[in-house]
A and B are shown apart, each in its own frame.
Chain A
């Protein structure tokens, strides 16, 4: 699966960037040290640019996101799983906001993606909205790997930030009674404060409502 994800991204990139940029990416995939890898990870947009990929499957991705994902997938094939995980985490922790966004967008394509769950959950605590969107929106990772509490908090935070709930992948499948209660409480709190209630609130309330809430 890893190999096909990498091949697919490389073919999308090949159609969008020039030969020297592709050559740079091939060379960067053979980075020998953490330091070399992190530097290549940072430098990706300098070489491949930031043109939108423009494919529904990769909603919101730009060329540098794809190149960074290819870079990590390439390195993952060569390194021991633990060494790879440490290198990947270093790319995230030392990354600026854009680097972290690239990292989160590609997370579900990584081998054993569940081992990065703590980082993905922690990333939701950010106040940088584009960074939050990179994990919360058009990203299958939270629905697949977040525990219920963290998934619910993600949905509520999206509401707080006026993010359309339709952008959260798997919201219907992950809906639950607690989320329905939280969304109902949020609507009540907004009304008590004389504020508007998000028009798409119902998307967070797709689970049958408890009897006491319906009253």
Chain B
């Protein structure tokens, strides 16, 4: 089965992960811009991070036969840093029209402060201006209220709900999101957020319309194979393959295709691997033989 992982932080992962993901059927992924595990102290760190998302990381994925897309945005946590937030927001228009940038994100709430609200609203307006969908991170703490407030921000801006993916849902927030026209993402983690069994139960209860799953794997305890592992569990629960295919491919592709930057014919083919290629004179080869597939 072809898999699209719509949320995975590959910058934190190794080439072994890329190989295992390709072997498990992952053909394409989206890497949302987020924070890096510790606060950045200057705007220049964001410039370099955004450049790596549209540059080196995209190339690195291609070397394992995986198409890499990204979202660009100022994350909720760092929206609280008045020293850099304004400068980062001013930087975003330079990135949003670039190839492979398929949404504005991750944006939304963390501590649910006034500064986060302001940054969130401003980026919803930017998404409207650049005709991009948005990816909303819902907070770990006080999640239900944060989800409701996120929907309020989208509605207050008059932003079309069908162009909004609300992520990291759980048993309490999924029904809230499904009452809107927004899409509902679920992050399958080893210990926190959502697990495979609970996800299968949610699909059996609520169906597959606008339902999406991702691994969100990052530098914490996480697993970039969680989408294929969730497929196995859904199958074990008797969920039909066409339903699963909709959740792990059709839905994320339909959502991000709204950016106008997914070439659907191209997505049908796994990119050819040519490891003789170089990105600004760098190769992923470290003395190994050149592989072409």
A residues in contact (CB < 8 Å) with B: 93, 118, 121-122, 125-128, 149-150, 153, 156-157, 160, 182, 185-186, 188-189, 192-194
Determine which of A93, A127, A182 lies in contact with B37 in the assembled complex, contact meaning CB atoms within 8 Å. Answer: A127
A189 pairs with B143, CB closer than 8 A: yes
Chain A residues contacting B276 (CB-CB under 8 Å) are none
Residue from B37, B111, B113, B140 with most neighbouring chain A CB atoms (10 Å): B111
Chain A residues contacting B142 (CB-CB under 8 Å) are 153, 156, 182, 185-186
B198 pairs with A125, CB closer than 8 A: no
A125-B77 CB under 8 A given contacts A93-B41, A149-B113: yes
B171 pairs with A153, CB closer than 8 A: no
CA distance A194 to B201 in the complex (A): 12
B111 pairs with A122, CB closer than 8 A: no
Give residues of chain B (102-146) contacting chain A, Cβ–Cβ below 8 Å.
110-113, 140-145
Please provide the 6 A-B residue pairs with the shortest distance between their CB atoms, ordered closest to farther: A192-B171, A156-B141, A153-B111, A182-B142, A125-B77, A192-B172
Name which residue of chain B comes closest to A192, CB basis: B171
Chain A interface mostly: helix
CA distance A28 to B45 in the complex (A): 33
A188-B172 CB under 8 A given contacts A122-B80, A150-B111, A182-B142: yes
| B51 close to A (CB within 8 Å) | no
B residues in contact (CB < 8 Å) with A: 37-39, 41, 77, 80-82, 110-113, 140-145, 170-172, 194, 198, 220
Give 13 A-B pairs besides A160-B140, A182-B145, A188-B172 with Cβ atoms closer than 8 angstroms.
A121-B80, A122-B81, A127-B37, A127-B38, A128-B38, A149-B112, A156-B141, A157-B141, A185-B145, A189-B143, A189-B170, A193-B171, A193-B198
Chain A residues contacting B145 (CB-CB under 8 Å) are 182, 185
Chain A residues contacting B172 (CB-CB under 8 Å) are 188-189, 192
Report B268 CB to chain A, min CB distance, Å.
37
Name which residue of chain A comes closest to B193, CB basis: A193
Chain B residues contacting A186 (CB-CB under 8 Å) are 141-142
Name which residue of chain A comes closest to B173, CB basis: A189
CA distance A174 to B141 in the complex (A): 19
